[in-house]
Structure 1
Amino acid sequence: MKHEVLAIRHVYFEDLGSLEHVLGDRGHLVRYLDVGRGRIDAPNPLDPSLLVVLGGPIGAYEDADYPHIAPLLSMLERRIAAGLPTIGICLGSQLIARALGARVYPSGAPELGWSPLTLTEAGRASALRHLEADGKPVPVFHWHGDTFDLPAGATLLASTEKCAHQAFAWGEHVLALQCHPEVLADRFESWLVTYPGDIARSGTTVAKLREETARHGAGLERAARAMFGEWLDRFASGER
């Protein structure tokens, strides 16, 4: 199989971040498919060595307003059924949950800012173990107002106080992350200037988010690179 990664991107700065560095280290070529710049149903979802669906400010259930959602769900369904490596981040995780038959809906309490995950026993046995360093959880970045039910057959990997379903695995080939472990501190200013309404509604401030990102960003980048690297290395030989 080709070592090409296809990343579905909804917003230009919500990119692969630290995951892209890990992919580059392993010789993978990354191709972005930007929503709104072509037909979302054009790529064959079985071709890439890895499919990643990234975040965005829309709801995974807003099919009427965003016609790319239906073909994207179809892509995910085909890929997951074929047993091929697939990652979803934030909106991407919600779309994976929906592709697996679970309900996605507003959480009622936006989660915006930096806080650690609480890993399950399965989470500590997974690549997410790197989000704990020396027995202490690594603060992770969150920015979402929706959540999802855990799909049938999924394994819960992590939770937070505000979001019970932060991360799950489905089989060995699907990883869904509600949080943003991929975020890079040196690209974070774009979040602040693009989503001021979300920040105001959440009760936090631009100054606090900027300070927390400066404090926690480097630690998350190290942990995330280790996490993504371990997950990808499972498919290093005999790609599925």
Structure 2
Amino acid sequence: MLQLTISGGIMRAHYFQHVPFEGLGSIEPWLNAAEYEITHTRLFEAANFPDDKKIDFLVIMGGPMSVNDEDQFPWLVAEKRFIHEFIGSGKPVLGICLGAQMIANAMGARVFRNPVKEIGWFPIHAIGSNDGSVFGFPPFATVFHWHGETFDLPSRAIRLAKSAGCRNQAFQIGQSVIGLQFHLETTPESARELVFNCRDELVPSPYIQAEEEILSASQDRYTSIHHLMGSILAFLLRGNG
């Protein structure tokens, strides 16, 4: 593996965490293997935003709140401002679930309630592209979902994936920003944490699986989504070397 450095220094990844039970998951060991220094802002503790000039890669994690809940979570305003400015720097950004919605909203797009909630293991389908600068998802992949809202695509965004329950599952802006409505970082431990903390959302619905079905996913299924996450990370960080 190439050692990812810039001007002789270690590359720095920073992530925004909105709740204690939605951390980096499989992203953390990938970044460790690539010799990134990892720092974080835990917004559920304090909204202390870093110096963006000291960050090379920004990851925005999920959470049960809405990007529209600015009255309840005033730090959302500052977070969206930071995201907008960081994207403007041209450095790579990855948003996951709420994080993807934060990117969309920070870039001027609407975030709103999806017609259905998607919770559990459901397939996504790639939107094909012949553009080599666009990340290519496999034609079909079963991934982990936990969301009730969706977003319009921001200006200049390219839609990368869709599902039966949600039109906009993934998008790319330029060559350095990707938003994922679903979770590829999920581990068996983080899936259990989500179920424990958000069990009240597991009501019968065509796109909501029961707790037992969610937690009985095979190790092969986790290996598959972690491999796909690794491909996305490699794509976003290909120029950081």
TM-score by length of 1: 0.88
Aligned residue for 2:214, secondary structure, equals helix
Aligned residue for 1:144, secondary structure, equals strand
The amino acid that maps onto 1:50 is F
In 1: Cα distance, 2:174 partner to 2:203 partner = 38
Report the RMSD for the aligned CA atoms in angstroms.
2.1
In 2: Cα distance, 1:45 partner to 1:180 partner = 25
In 1: Cα distance, 2:131 partner to 2:125 partner = 10
Q: 1:124 to 1:160 in 2, by over 3 A?
A: farther
In 1: Cα distance, 2:13 partner to 2:200 partner = 33
1:235 counterpart = 2:239? yes
Q: Out of 66-75 and 21-30, give the one that drifted further.
A: 21-30
1:179 counterpart = 2:182? yes
Identity of aligned residues (%): 28
In 2: Cα distance, 1:219 partner to 1:87 partner = 19
1:11 counterpart = 2:19? yes
In 2: Cα distance, 1:23 partner to 1:3 partner = 10
- 1:113: which partner in 2? 120
- The 8 Å contact of residues 104 and 153 in structure 2, kept in 1 or not, is answered as yes
In 2: Cα distance, 1:213 partner to 1:95 partner = 31
Q: Out of 108-117 and 142-151, give the one that drifted further.
A: 108-117
1:35-54 CA distances to partner (integer Å, 9 max, x unpaired)? Answer: 132234x3223321101110
- 1:138: which partner in 2? 141
1:217 counterpart = 2:222? yes
1:157 to 141, 160, 176: 160
Q: Which 5+ residue runs of structure 1 have no aligned equivalent?
A: none
1:204-231 CA distances to partner (integer Å, 9 max, x unpaired)? Answer: 2111111235562222222322332233
1:19-48 CA distances to partner (integer Å, 9 max, x unpaired)? Answer: 2121111110111211132234x3223321
- The 8 Å contact of residues 15 and 60 in structure 2, kept in 1 or not, is answered as yes
Q: 1:92 to 1:146 in 2, by over 3 A?
A: same
- The 8 Å contact of residues 92 and 176 in structure 2, kept in 1 or not, is answered as yes
The amino acid that maps onto 1:23 is L
Q: Which 5+ residue runs of structure 2 have no aligned equivalent?
A: 1-5
Aligned residue for 1:122, secondary structure, equals coil
1:194, CA displacement in angstroms? Answer: 1.0
The amino acid that maps onto 1:182 is E
1:135-184 CA distances to partner (integer Å, 9 max, x unpaired)? Answer: x6231101000000011111111111111111111111111111101111
Residues matched between the structures, number: 231
In 2: Cα distance, 1:112 partner to 1:20 partner = 23
Q: 1:223 to 1:86 in 2, by over 3 A?
A: closer
The amino acid that maps onto 1:173 is S
The amino acid that maps onto 1:224 is M
2:71 to 48, 52, 64: 64
- The 8 Å contact of residues 133 and 175 in structure 2, kept in 1 or not, is answered as no
TM-score by length of 2: 0.88
